[in-house]
């Protein structure tokens, strides 16, 4: 028996990069995977047995309600929610005084409000089923105080606080909420922006205890752990996965 046999896992932003690697890891442990993304969800879901792909903007309240209803209608439940969708590589690095307010709000909507909306829609499903697992994807940047991406770093710090507070609120229902904070990862989204790679790749690798590129697959083990029985007495926690760049 695989660790997650019979479980339904919904992964936001799962059509590529870290999200897709996480989906593969959950599927390898027996979970039936639902991919939610703005683009490419159905094609990405074809990689998994009985995979389901649903196109949705997880920062939109109505779209989230429809997404969760569709997932439950097709799969019967949601046991695992991985909140992975977010904005990063497309953001320009610049002093905080040059960040437009509209961009600040967009980052907060996509990186933080989406998790609130997803959890608000999914937690009642988990409560009705006697429990569940939520894994939020943050970043190592708020622990290191990375400059010139103030909106992004702030949003990722908020996810850590969100995880802790929600864990306290839903623990009585056996809904466990944890967080994974990756370092600079050579994902498809990052590689599509050579200027980001040029600025951050070498400096990130040189600062690590394990001095190599971080790849999406490096994040998978921690997410599977938080989704499986081995973490049944762990909630409200954040694991930083960055090759020892930051010790948390």
Residue 246 is a catalytic residue: no
DSSP states along 138-201: --SHHHHT-SS-HHHHHHHHHHHHHHHHHHHHHGGGTEEEEEEEE-SB--HHHHT-HHHHHHHH
Structural tokens at position 52 = 């389901």
Question: Around Cβ 95, how many Cβ atoms within 10 Å?
Answer: 9
* Pairing assessment for the beta strands 52-55 and 32-37 based on DSSP bridges: parallel
82, HSE (Cβ side, Cα atoms, 13 Å): 37
Distance CA 66, CA 209 (A): 44
DSSP 215: -
Confirm if 136 and 205 have CB atoms less than 8 A apart: no
Q: What is the dihedral of CA 33, 39, 44, 45, to 10 degrees?
A: 40
The catalytic position among 88, 152, 225, 246 is: 152
Contact 71, 33 (CB under 8 A): no
What is the separation of C-alpha 118 from the centre of its chain, rounded to a whole number of angstroms?
Answer: 11
Nearest 5°: phi and psi at 245? -70, -35
Residue numbers annotated as active site = 152
């Amino acid at each position: 028996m695989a660790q997650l046999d019979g479980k339904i896992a919904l992964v936001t932003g799962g059509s590529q990069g870290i999200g897709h690697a996480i989906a593969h890891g959950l599927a390898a442990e027996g979970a039936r995977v639902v991919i939610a993304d703005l683009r490419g969800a159905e094609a990405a879901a074809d990689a998994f047995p009985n995979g389901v792909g649903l196109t949705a903007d997880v920062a939109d309240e109505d779209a989230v309600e429809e997404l969760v209803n569709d997932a439950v209608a097709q799969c019967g439940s949601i046991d695992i929610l991985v909140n992975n969708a977010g904005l990063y590589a497309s953001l320009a690095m610049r002093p905080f005084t040059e960040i437009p307010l509209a961009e600040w709000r967009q980052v907060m909507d996509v990186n933080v409000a989406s998790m609130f909306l997803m959890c608000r829609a999914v937690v009642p499903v988990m409560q009705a089923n006697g429990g569940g697992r939520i894994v939020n994807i943050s970043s190592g940047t708020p622990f290191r105080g990375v400059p010139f991406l103030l909106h992004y770093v702030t949003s990722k710090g908020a996810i850590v606080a969100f995880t802790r507070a929600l864990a306290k609120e839903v623990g009585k229902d056996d809904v466990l909420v944890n967080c994974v904070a990756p370092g600079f990862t050579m994902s498809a989204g990052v590689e599509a922006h050579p200027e980001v790679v040029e600025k951050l790749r070498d400096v990130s690798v040189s600062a690590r205890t394990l001095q190599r590129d971080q790849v999406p697959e490096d994040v998978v083990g921690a997410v599977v752990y938080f989704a499986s029985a081995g973490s049944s007495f762990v909630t409200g926690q954040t694991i930083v996965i960055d090759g020892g760049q930051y010790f948390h």
